[in-house]
Structure 1
Amino acid sequence: MNCAGYTDKSACNECLSLKVDKNLQNRIAIVKPPKSKLKHIPKHYFENDPLKKYLKYVDLNIVWSLIKDNNSDTASDVWVTLANKGINGAFKEKPVFTGLCEIMTQVASKKEKNKGKQNLKYSEEFKNFLIVLGTFSPHALNLFRQNLEGLTIQNIRRLRSNSEDILTDPTLCFENVARFKRFLDSIGYDGPIAAMSDNTKLKPRLRYSSQMGCIIGSTFSVNETSIKTYNDIPLVINKIKENNSIAKYVRVYILQVPLPKFPPVIIALLPNNGSDKTESIVNIHKLLLDFAQELGLHIISIGSDGAQVEFNAQTQIQQIKTSDRLRFNYTPYNIDFSCPIFPNIGPIVRIQDPKHAKKTGHNAAMSGARALTFGHSTIGFNHFTKLLSHLQSPMYKSDVYKLDRQDDGAAYRTFCPKNLACCLDSNNKIKSEFKGTFIYLFIIGELVDSYLNRNISPLERIRMAMTSYFFLRIWRFHINTLARKYPEFISVSQNFIASQTFAIMTSLAESIVLLVKAHRDYYSQYPLIPWIHGSEACEHFFGAARQINADFDFAELLEMVPKIGHYTKALNSKELSFNKEKSVRDGK
């Protein structure tokens, strides 16, 4: 048919001929199927319908909605606009909202058919959102469900109870490590594993665990606090109190595949009184290595936050005599880095958490207890106050005044390139008063960046770390030389970083070299991701626990393990946005 498009009559001849077109009459005569039968119609009839393509245009979409509903009001315009935005892909990056819309549609369809809400199909992103919401506040989840739709808290708890993250035995036992090994076997992974541990405070409280059949929350073993009859309860509690054995701290042990999107796995929660000895931590490390050796688990690193006893324990593990060692040796520069190679495990490297090392370096310069000296220049609190007043300074007042020494953000801003730029004049030369400041920030920043930078090669990481390593050694030699020459004016204890800080910084350089060498010699088919090694996963675990319950006891932490596991997996999916809002302290 070729319509003339213009005529003096009511219609052109071509259009008038449609009145007697038998094909058109037959099509019009077909009865539209009822809604209950639409599901039996092949989908290609709908997919190939030109109307679907035309409705992508806003104007035609509005016309179509008006044709469908002559009583259209402002409320219906919202749905037309929403549908149009959805068709044009406005919500492609909002999978949680898309999942909500899918559930609302399913519920509406079931309601029309007078059916219940059973067997709803939740998208993974929307399910993760509900899990995180329920983790933070069951009341918020209930409010959400009352006004929209979603999983009940009972369903979420059922998911947690079936989760592999649940710890039936919080001690470092073979079954907990074997569970992690079974997970690796299920995905066919036989590469390196990062182990790490950390300690945090607990609310001192004793609780009875029906699952374990004992009183938990003390430093005693399960056998010592086992309850067989009701009369045993006061006896055990009195025994714990008499020995002052109510736990005030808890140590977590975590194993993690050092690759993106792999969640950390809790293998032990060990209550303690906060005064762990080096020997006790070494024994726990050795027990973990025994299990790993039996299971063929290739632990490549043991990470900690640099606490004295933990560092000493790592050092003792590093010094274990084995038949073979991974070694990097260069006699002219007095370099001899090595670590043990355990049978059926491989080389094991001690690693201090780089973010903690950055905070340690920041606090060393800010404390004022030492006048860190670099030739004719120094670095101290007054230098940071001057940098703070610079117009281009990225630091906040809270990074200098009333400093929170555990603030990762403050340490990051202190060592960032913009802060270094503030030490330069208009000719890009270091200002005389900031020479020591620039050197210190650059050296410590390079060392930490050799782990945290995600855009450099392994060789560049070694160069950065060894630059800092050599400088720290030369700096110490310089201060020692001056101390011998002018003992009344200068000393290592007053003009150099603390010995523990020096040990942490130099061990970081040693560890990155050995880590690169271990990957090259033993795990060349796996990428090296050094920023996953350390103890950051432990920090995230404790941080998530305190978001749920700011002051938890041991029993509460044990109950939160599956919650935190779900929470971590949900955030690792990268489909769920959870960015912390700025606090008052974040302002300048």
Structure 2
Amino acid sequence: MPPTRQKLNDPRIARFRSLKNFDKIIDEKTVRCKCGVIIRLDRPFRTTNFERHIKSKNCILGTDKQQSLYLFFDQNQDSEGETESHECLPCIGLFGDSYTNYATGTPSGYGGGERPEVAGKRLFPEKFPQDIPFSRKKLNKDQIQEFNTTLQATSLWKIDQFEGVIRSAKCTIMTTNLSGLCGECIDLKKNNRLKDALKSRRATPSTTKFIPKFYFNTRLIGLMKNQNLRSLWTCIITNNNDSAMWASLAQMGMNGAFNGEKTFTELASLMLQIKTKEEAGINMKGLRYSEHLTHFFSLLSESSREYEVFRKELGGMSIQRIRQIRASNTELITDPNLVLDNVTKFACIAKELKWEGPILLMTDCTKIRSKLVYSQELGYITGSTLPSSEVSVSDINDIHEKIRNIYENNALATQVRVIVLKIPIGKIPPIVIAILPTKGDESAEQIFNILCTVLDFARQNNLNILSMGADGARSEFNAQTKIMNSSSTYFTFDDPFYNVHFKVPVIHGRPLVRVQDPKHAKKTARNQLFTGARHLSLGIDTIRYDQLYLLAHQDKHTLLKRDVLNVDKQDDAENVPSDMIGLFIYLFVLGELCDAYLNRKIDHKARIRMVMRAFFFLKVWKDYIQRCGSIHSSKWYNMQHSIISMQSFEIFISMAESLIMLIMIHREYYPHYPLFLWEHGTEALEHIFGISRQVIADFNFYEFYKIQKRVMYRDKISRAGLINTSRDRTSAGGYVFDIDGTSLSHETIECLRTWPSEDDFKEAIRIGHSEAMSFAEYLQIDNRTALSMQQLIRRDEHSSDDQSNLEIIDDDEQDDEQCQNLAESIEPQKEIENIGTAAFEVSRLLLDESDDESNMGNENEATNISLVTFPDLHYILSQKPVHQKQFEKFDLLFTPEGFVNYKVIIDTRKNHDAFTRHSKSAFNKQAQPETSETTEKSGLLNLNNANRLITELTIDLNVQENCRNRRKERWEGRKRLATIPIAVGTNVHNIIDANVSDIYNLISGGYLIIYSDNKLCIAQIISMYEKQD
């Protein structure tokens, strides 16, 4: 590459400039003599070969000191016909004082294209009409990307700011011209727009501050946020002598300032390697990269352009080598359908790891962008729900018929179902065994058949499937239930005294447990409070969203607004509550249920107590609402408004049953393998979805399939724990990943493979039942004896088998549900201030905290780099279980007088809470889709032509139904209230506004009119909800 202004003062270049007949440096090992001959150097910037040339007869300027005609012509005017050279060399681009000043003084990376304001108005006419000036600030991320791509596509030249070179946008990269310029760059020299740009005034140190900030939106500038790097930068700009900066750097390093900055220290070590090789005159082949740097370069290379800039300045692996490593270290299926070979691949991996323990099965769906794409490697049109045999294409003429068949059958996929298998150890990533297109309307029978197929494939490969995880969706839950009822043999657990009878099917000789994802359950428990359609009744108190809102706005509490506002995106409320005892108990009971799965340190006996407490409490609560509905009125006490949804109820009950059975099965079938309950569920699969969204925010089916190689490799990096790939969150909503790369201690592993005895089970169940009854008694929702409690559980077990009672929560329909007037609240017996403080402490159930991601390698070696080691796996397989002496003793949650022991409950939640508040800085990079290289092969259908035809046919056939908006229907229904016939002589104003007007304001404790079931009712306001942005 030609030298920049900074490099012209390099002493190695100065030696060449002092030699006679020297013309220019093409790159570090190639120079040109004034006689026109290009000389290759034996070492970078070594003058020996050039001096030998000018003294030889080959140089026409050095033979007899006869001046050459070459000197009488302008050497800067390269002839376009100058095409003969000894070899094809890279185009050197336009450089020199004017070009270098322009390149190093402009913040843009390209020029000569369409003016930004013209391009912006043309691309987004709805945002910028003729009378509104264009502004980048009004564009979102996708629009900015489209805008920048358009400017770059219309540009005439590219600017290499780091080398100070200008090249044509159509530069051919290589040239045989003796001038070193390709034909396109030669033509660019004559371009008038470039000449005008060269004459324009560039930025100066005093005017740089006026450059728009979007030009500086680069990852490298983000590195300056590091405090230590800022100190170094300050040292550099305030001291012209570099020695002061290096002295400061050395002092910081000796003081341990960079101990926590592993990436920085590894890069510094790499730079030492590079400089040592340069000084010794050794080429850069054979550089050694640590595992940490390999991961770091892989993450940066998701944007090839930014990575190349980084690599030029600081060094790094080549893009080609990174792709080789990524491909060789990723176990990826080659057929997205559910086939035996995919399961066999997983079985081979388990065999290599010598794993004979339990295997986890999990499945879930995610939305995709509907699009049909022809896949050359698969041989059929992807993106439809039809079997691959019906959409296979052998000739381009088949596409018309296939596309028509897809639309006639309404088989355009809108979701993708992914099935994974996983060894239940955190550092070992899951393996995708199927990627199935779907429309999101699968029945329980269809999912049941898919799961049965997976179980049959697992049996053929001798895999021990222990659990099948799902997120609690109704169809998946019902499919799990069908599997639970499909066996003739069951593994059971019974406690006759409390009438507890759990069972799981034995399939292919091994018990199988259905598991609902605990983090989805945690989110479900939170969302029950965030909907205005429910008013949960718990005896002497009610549970409402405004209670959380109040806590979030109190200065003495650390419950943040981000944990309450805009989490459900439906109703944000503001009201001042009088008590929070119901909220306190609700959060404690369900928080303990979820953290029985998610906590990594508590023993199994404590987990049994936690889930059985929730099991008994939920049963009592449901019976209380049913009894109140029958005694008082089903209008005010019913299963639709006064308690959590029935689907959520079934999920929580199922979680208690699943945990008990998992512990029992591990004790009987896998006693040497610890039970890591947080691995069960769908978190590993959700992590795959999350990484995929970072790579492509809105992918179609084919894109999702193609990016899995990058996704799986990044998942390995995240689980290795060497580089933090998580990001800070601004809201507590959504799914929070807890992919922890740290290994468990040996004490924790031994604790989790120490199994409770039968007496331990019964004691934990007894204490859980006692605590549930004490909470119910405290809330005045239970006055039954132990015998009636057994009858209650038996009666509720019969009703829980009826899956038709399950309810799907629909946010749009919840807006229509009318809030009912409940029974009058009874003042609690405890002081309000103490209850509010205690309620805050346990309200961290609702906080899903952010957490959401050395072997040496040789770049020039073909061997694979070992991404991770599995110390947990090695310890489990090599060490026999060490029996723990005793389980932890249980603290009493109630005083002997029957009062709640708030301090014990708060301490218990702190010890069992699976998340803690912390903030981490992380890369949040959204990369472009990785495109595979496609080549024309004989006998293969042309990929571009096929997809172009599919797009045209899709546009013609994609006629969507004009569905009516639900909110519009509700608005029209609201207007129909005005036509309700009113009795003669009765004057009712503002009936369509519930009698709320400027005169009759809506206030807490006031009254309003409700029209329900053809009746006009008067209701009292308990809580007020207000929509906020």
Q: TM-score range by the shorter chain?
A: 0.7 to 0.9
Aligned to 1:3: none
- Once the two structures are TM-superposed, the CA of residue 81 in structure 1 deviates from its matched residue by 4.7
Cα distance per residue 1:395-414 (max 9 Å; x no partner): 333443333369xxx9xxxx
Deviation at 1:79, TM superposition (A): 3.6
Map of 1:326 onto structure 2: 491
Letter aligned with residue 609 of structure 2? R
Counterpart of 1:254 in structure 2 is: 420
Q: CA deviation at 1:91?
A: 4.3
**Cα shift at 1:199:** 0.6
Maintained 8 Å contact 2:277/2:284 = yes
Of 554, 561, 570, the residue aligned with 1:397 is: 561
> Which structure carries more relative contact order (alpha carbon 8 Å, separation 6+)?
1
Tell me if the contact between 1:165 and 1:561 (Cα under 8 Å) persists in the aligned partners: no
The answer for the alignment partner of 1:445 in structure 2 is 591
* Aligned partner of 1:150 among 316, 326, 331: 316
Checking the alignment, whether the CA contact within 8 Å between 2:563 and 2:732 is kept in structure 1 is no
Q: Are 2:242 and 1:75 equivalent residues in the alignment? A: yes
Once the 2 structures are TM-superposed, how far is the Cα of residue 478 of structure 1 from its aligned partner? 1.4
Q: What secondary structure does 2:640 align onto?
A: helix
Aligned counterparts of 2:420 and 2:269: Cα–Cα separation in 1: 37
Identify if the C-alpha distance between structure 1 residues 464 and 127 changes in structure 2 by more than 3 Å, giving closer, same or farther: same
In the superposition, relative to structure 1, how do residues 91 and 527 fare at CA in structure 2: closer, same or farther (>3 Å)?
farther
Query: Equivalents in 2 of 1:87, 1:190: separation in Å?
Result: 48
SS at match of 1:366: coil
- Structure-1 separation of matches of 2:272 and 2:579: 67
Range moving further from structure 2, 483-492 or 253-262:
483-492
Output the amino acid matched with 2:544.
Answer: G
Q: CA deviation at 1:451?
A: 0.7
Q: TM-score, normalised by structure 1?
A: 0.79
1:512 is matched with 659
Residue 211 of structure 1 corresponds to 377
What corresponds to 1:580 in structure 2? 727
Matched, 1:372 2:536: yes
More deviation, 464-473/228-237 = 228-237
Matched residue of 1:270: which SS? strand
- Does the C-alpha gap of structure 1 residues 151 and 261 become closer, same or farther in structure 2, counting only changes over 3 Å? same
CA distance in structure 1 between the aligned counterparts of 2:491 and 2:410, rounded to whole angstroms: 44
Where structure 2 has 5 or more consecutive residues not aligned to the other structure, the ranges are 1-238, 734-918, 920-1028
Matched to 2:625, the amino acid is: I
Among candidates 299, 305, 318, match of residue 132 of structure 1: 299
2:32 aligned partner: none
Q: Could you tell me which residue of structure 2 aligns to residue 14 of structure 1?
A: none
User: Are 1:274 and 2:440 an aligned pair?
Assistant: yes
Whole-Å Cα distance in 2 between the matches of residues 387 and 83 of structure 1?
49
CA distance in 2 between partners of 1:173 and 1:129 (Å): 35
- The residue that corresponds to 1:24 in the other structure is none
CA deviation profile, 1:452-482 (whole Å, cap 9, x unmatched): 1122101100100000000000111111122
Query: What is the correspondence of 1:400-479 to structure 2 with a 5 Å cutoff?
Result: 400-404=564-568, 433-479=579-625
- Name the count of aligned residue pairs: 492
Q: Which residue number in structure 1 is paired with residue 507 of structure 2?
A: 342
Return the alpha-carbon distance in structure 2 between the equivalents of residues 279 and 176 of structure 1: 23
Find out whether 1:314 has 2:480 as its counterpart. Answer: yes
Contact kept in structure 2, 1:303 and 1:534, CA below 8 Å: yes
Give CA-to-partner distance per residue, 1:158-190, whole Å, 9 cap, x none: 233334432210112111111111111111111
Which residue pairs with 2:334 in the alignment? 168
Instruction: State the superposition RMSD in angstroms.
Output: 2.5
- Residue 397 of structure 2 aligns with which residue? 231
Tell me by how many angstroms 1:432 deviates.
6.6
**8 Å Cα contact 2:487-2:507 kept in structure 1:** no
- In the alignment, residue 330 of structure 1 is paired with which amino acid? D
Q: Which amino acid aligns with 2:608?
A: I
Aligned partners of 2:481 and 2:637: how far apart in 1?
30
Aligned-pair CA distance for 1:517 = 1.0
Q: Which amino acid aligns with 1:134?
A: S
**Counterpart Cα distance in 2 of 1:450 and 1:384:** 23
Mapped partners of 1:141, 1:195: distance in 2: 37
Mean CA deviation greater in 437-446 or 478-487: 478-487
Shift of 1:154: 2.6
Q: Check the 8 A contact 2:566/2:731 in 1, yes or no.
A: no
Structure 1 residue 576, shift from structure 2 partner: 0.8
Which whole-Å CA distance do the structure 1 matches of 2:569 and 2:299 have between them? 29
Secondary structure, in 3 states, of the residue corresponding to 1:494? coil
- The 1:88/1:523 distance shift into structure 2, 3 A limit, reads farther
Note if contact 1:167-1:561 (Cα within 8 Å) is conserved in structure 2.
Answer: no
User: Which residue in the other structure is 1:563 paired with?
Assistant: 710
**1:73: how far off?**
8.2
* Aligned match for 2:267, one of 86, 94, 100: 100
- 3-state SS, counterpart of residue 504 of structure 2: strand
Q: In 1, are the aligned partners of 2:297 and 2:317 still within 8 Å (CA)?
A: yes
Deviates more, 1:157-166 or 1:86-95: 86-95
Distance 2:317 2:623 in 1: 64
Cα deviation, 1:556-575, whole Å, max 9, x if unaligned, reads 11111110111111111212
Contact 2:467 2:512 in 1 (8 A): yes
Q: SS of the counterpart of 2:528? A: helix
Contact 2:536 2:542 in 1 (8 A): yes
Distance 2:329 2:408 in 1: 38
3-state SS in 2 of match to 1:260: coil
Q: Is the 8 A contact 2:359 2:421 kept in 1?
A: yes
* 8 A Cα contact 2:358 2:465, kept in partner: yes
Distance 1:301 1:585 in 2: 29
Structure 1 distance, partners of 2:274, 2:400, is 53
Secondary structure of residue in 2 paired with 1:566 = helix
Residue 297 (structure 1) shift: 0.8
Q: CA deviation at 1:370?
A: 2.1
Aligned counterparts of 1:234 and 1:151: Cα–Cα separation in 2:
46
Judging changes above 3 Å, is the alpha-carbon distance between structure 1 residues 443 and 584 closer, same or farther for their aligned structure 2 residues? closer
Deviation, structure 1 residue 106:
2.9
Distance in 1, matches of 2:311 and 2:627, equals 71
Identify unmatched segments of 5+ residues in structure 1: 1-71, 411-422, 424-430
Letter aligned with residue 498 of structure 1? S
Equivalence for 1:522 = 669
Please report how far the alpha carbon of residue 390 of structure 1 lies from its aligned counterpart in structure 2 after TM superposition. Answer: 2.5
Conserved? CA contact 1:201–1:250, under 8 Å: yes
Give secondary structure in 1 for the equivalent of 2:416: strand
- Kindly provide the CA deviation profile for residues 330-362 of structure 1, in whole angstroms up to 9, marking residues without a partner as x: 223221111112235x22111111111011111
CA distance in 2, matches of 1:584, 1:517: 38
The Cα of 1:486 is off from its aligned counterpart by 1.4
1:549 maps onto 2:696 in alignment: yes
Q: How far does the alpha carbon of each residue in 1:79-131 deviate from its partner, in whole angstroms, 9 at most, with x for none?
A: 45545655676545443333323332333333334444333221111101111
Greater Rg over alpha carbons, structure: 2
Look up the equivalent residue of 2:614 and give its one-letter code: S
- Quick one: which amino acid aligns to residue 388 of structure 1? A
Instruction: Go from structure 1 to structure 2 and tell me whether the alpha carbon gap of 1:399 and 1:515 turns closer, same or farther (over 3 Å shift).
Output: same
CA distance in 1, matches of 2:414, 2:586: 37
Distance 1:532 1:351 in 2: 11
Residue 491 of structure 2 aligns with an amino acid whose one-letter code is: L
SS at the partner of 1:122? Answer: strand
Aligned-partner SS, 1:493: coil
State the AA in 2 paired with 1:445: G
Identify the range of structure 1 (468-477 vs 236-245) with the bigger mean alpha-carbon deviation. 236-245
Which residue does the alignment assign to 1:28?
Answer: none
Amino acid at match of 1:139: R
Change (3 A) 1:511 1:394: farther
User: Which amino acid is 1:193 matched to?
Assistant: I
AA matched with 2:273: Q
